[in-house]
Amino acid sequence: MGGTAQRIRWAGAWLLAVGLIAAACGSGSPAAQVPSIPTTTIPTPATVRSTTTTTMSAPPTTTATMADPTMPDPTVPRRVTTTTTLDVPEPLEPGDRGPGVVRLQEAMAAAGFFRDEIDGSFGPRTAAAVIAVHKALDLERTAAWATGDWAALSEYEGPVLPDRTDEPNRVEVDLTRQLLYRLEDGAVVDIIPVSSGNGALYENATGALVRARTPRGDYSFYKHYTGWRISYLGGLYRPWYFSGGYAIHGSASVPAYPASHGCVRVPNWEADHLASELWIGSPVHLWD
């Protein structure tokens, strides 16, 4: 029994101790509270306050996508370039139109090769003037204007002609280059393409065989017709006769090479021009 009584005493003492501890932890009285220990809260980066803020702009994000080859990248500035067509030499040919042809016509007019309206249209008259330029420059006699022709024309200083100080107003015909030069006061004012005798044999009005050769030498015009003159060899437009039946006259066919029976052919529109510039007695010289 003594052991039982002792165990009861220990149990009571344990219960008393537990009750005291519970009273101390559960009481709302200030006197019973355990003194608080000062604590310091370490803020996380999300809770840090700053009195000075700096805003950094984020770099643009790029999303990798398949590029549409037909659409330019809108984020890449487009390079803008400008060109001035007339500052760059360009080739031209019959049928062309535009500022390049205007420039060509003006350049040829300034050099005496072109006498028509400056209209920017590369027609037959412009083509004939181009052939005349090529003849004067000893280039291939075509109606097409090559890129290198611009520089060649700009460097052209005019023909080298016989010195005839006593005849400041005259006509010179270079049968090698197939060109006619008209001079006023000793200066060349017109350069006209011609086609002279081709050297072939043909029958004359009497049936005799003669050679299609243009006379060389020094002459003066002695007869002129204001319209068409029809001969057994064909029509002569506004002819200026200088030796027998040989004349400088207009024709619808003036190739870049000798093709006549002996006369000196010029384009019809050039015959119109010469009709107002020549006179009976005007000197004309023909040479190779």
pLDDT, mean of residues 11-24: 37
Q: Which residue in 117, 159, 46, 47 sits closest to 269, CA to CA?
A: 117
The per-residue pLDDT for 87 is 59
Cβ-contact 190, 181 below 8 angstroms: yes
pLDDT tens digits, one per residue of 270-281: 999 999 999 999
Q: In b/e form, how buried is each residue of 237-251, taking b as 16+ CB within 10 angstroms? A: bbbbbbbeebbbbbb
Instruction: Please compute the mean of the pLDDT values over residues 142-159 and round it to a whole number.
Output: 98
- Phi and psi at 23, nearest 5°, equal -65, -40
The amino acid at residue 191 is I
Rounded to an integer, what distance in angstroms lies between the CA atom of residue 252 and that of residue 258?
14
To which H or E segment does residue 210 belong? strand 209-211
pLDDT > 70 fraction of the chain, expressed in percent and rounded: 69
Q: Which domains does the chain have, with CATH numbers?
A: 86-158 (1.10.101.10), 165-288 (2.40.440.10)
pLDDT in tens, 115-126: 999 999 999 999
Place 45 in a pLDDT band, splitting at 50, 70 and 90. very low
> Which pLDDT band, with edges at 50, 70 and 90, does 22 fall under?
very low
Question: Which pLDDT does position 253 carry in this prediction?
Answer: 97
With a pLDDT cut of 90, the percent of the chain lying above it is: 69
**199, 226 contact by CB (below 8 A):** no
Q: Which of 207, 199, 205, 177 is nearest to 259 (CA)?
A: 199
What average pLDDT does the segment 160-167 reach? 97
Residue located via tokens 């400088």: 248
pLDDT score for 128:
99
Tokens of 69: 């080859």
Per residue in 194-229, pLDDT (tens digit) is: 999 999 999 999 999 999 999 999 999 999 999 999
Longest Cα–Cα distance in the chain: 185
For the stretch 57-102, pLDDT in tens is: 444 444 444 445 455 555 554 554 444 444 568 999 999 999 999 9
For residues 164 and 69, which has the higher predicted lDDT (pLDDT)? 164
Mean pLDDT of the region 17-44 = 38
Cα distances (angstroms) measured from residue 196 to each of 52, 82, 124, 251, 261: 99, 48, 20, 12, 7
| Residue 186: per-residue pLDDT | 98
pLDDT at residue 267 tops 90: yes
For Cα atoms 186, 167, 138, give the angle at the middle one, nearest 5 degrees: 55
How confident is residue 12, by pLDDT bands cut at 50, 70 and 90?
Answer: very low
Average pLDDT, the chain: 81
Q: What is the pTM of this model?
A: 0.70
Helix (H) or strand (E) holding 150, with range, is: helix 149-154
Give the integer Cα–Cα distance in Å for 288 and 176.
Answer: 5
For residue 174, give every residue at least 6 positions away whose Cβ sits within 8 Å of its Cβ, in sequence order, or none.
Answer: 159, 180, 181, 287, 288
pLDDT for 19 beyond 80 = no
Looking at residue 89, its pLDDT comes to 86
User: Rounded to 5 degrees, what are φ and ψ at 155?
Assistant: -95, -5
Residue bearing the bigger pLDDT, 258 or 19: 258
